[in-house]
Amino acid sequence: MTLADVAARAGVSRSAVSRTFTEGASVAAATRARVLKAAEALGYRPNRLASSLTTRRTGLVGLVVDNFRNPVFMTVFDGFTRLLQDRGYRPLLVNLSGETRAEASLALLQDYSVEGVIVASSTLPGDFAEAFHAAGLPVVHCFGRQAPDPALPVVGVDNIACGRLAAETLLARGYRRIGFLGGPRGATSTGDRLSGFLAGLGPLHPGISFAEAYSHEAGQTEMGRIIRAGDLAEAYFCGDDQLAIGALDALREAGLSVPGDVGILGMNDMAMAGWGAIALSTIRQPFPRIIAESVDRLLSRIETGVDPASCTLQAELVLRGTLRPL
């Protein structure tokens, strides 16, 4: 069924049908009603790609991600795609798979004429989102570090404050030989969480180690190395829940109990953390709000041209069964 078929049935010109389905175009109310009635009768749906040639609006939003193997981010992607679709946009997912050159992603997104970009990552270089902004694309960086340019909005928690909260939580439970098991050294989230953690511990000097990735395997491997080195702390703040659950498995495989021998505190509060067999104490990121605030800011920038402000949200301590009680 084509636009011409609708025009013939409604008894109007093809341009009148086109204007009816073009947002903001001028068309008489009676004409619009006739066109919509004809379209419904014929089962006609306008071709959005064809319409974009006229309106220069594709309705596409680039969603740039680099950690598909992390279950937390699969939940995040689901939230973004659903919310964007509810608001009349369509996500174009860009899986970086280890790519850290912004130019390659920028070229891809420009090829598809996206109207804006959401960068959903805490491990990409700080200038990654800035490259999109410099090219004139509306962009929001969620889970990133606050940018020097106030015109580049960042949405997420304060990772320094999260590190401080982790330190206070462990100290309050009597731990004094404390360790930090972070994610990749180059990730801004790792650096910021460690910075806050050290500040919160004051004069104490924790053991510090880094995993190669935010993954279960990396956490299990690094904790296994620590155990074999004979340098085990009383409790660990892990850079995310996957690392923490990997560390839990390494400790249990070594015959150690949690929290009897070692306490573990994670970060994120992924769904798995609440499973009865895991019961991980962790620091919760408010993912639904991060997603909603990111989408609101990006679409506001697309539709008004006004640069929105950044948004820092509060994280929350969730106590389960991997730390000793007060």
Quick one: 78 and 152 in the same domain? yes
Domain containing residue 51: CATH number: 1.10.260.40
**What is the tally of helices (H) and strands (E) in the chain?**
12, 12
175 lies in some domain: yes
Quick one: 142 and 201 in the same domain? no
Quick one: 65 and 49 in the same domain? no
Question: What pLDDT digit, counting tens, does each position of 58-114 carry?
Answer: 789 999 887 777 888 888 889 999 999 999 899 988 877 666 677 777 887 888 788
320 lies in some domain: no
User: pTM above the 0.75 mark?
Assistant: yes
What pLDDT, on a 0 to 100 scale, did the predictor assign at position 22? 67
Q: Evaluate whether 120 touches 80 at the Cβ level (below 8 Å).
A: yes
Which phi and psi (to 5°) does residue 184 adopt?
-55, 140
Q: Evaluate whether 194 touches 180 at the Cβ level (below 8 Å).
A: yes
322 lies in some domain: no
Quick one: 222 and 129 in the same domain? no
Quick one: 292 and 281 in the same domain? no
Report strand pairing: 282-284 vs 316-318.
antiparallel
What average pLDDT does the structure give for the chain? 88
Class of residue 125 by CB neighbours under 10 A (exposed 0-12, middle 13-18, buried 19+): middle
Quick one: 120 and 92 in the same domain? yes
Domain residues for the domain of 249 are: 159-285
Crossing angle of helices 188-201 and 159-172, in 10° steps, is: 40
Quick one: 122 and 175 in the same domain? no
Quick one: 190 and 278 in the same domain? yes
Quick one: 177 and 281 in the same domain? yes
Looking at the 3D structure of the chain, how many domains does it have? Answer: 3
| pLDDT over threshold 70, residue 1 | no
Domain containing residue 264: CATH number: 3.40.50.2300
Question: What pLDDT digit, counting tens, does each position of 215-265 carry?
Answer: 999 999 999 999 999 989 999 999 999 999 999 999 999 999 999 999 999
Quick one: 89 and 22 in the same domain? no
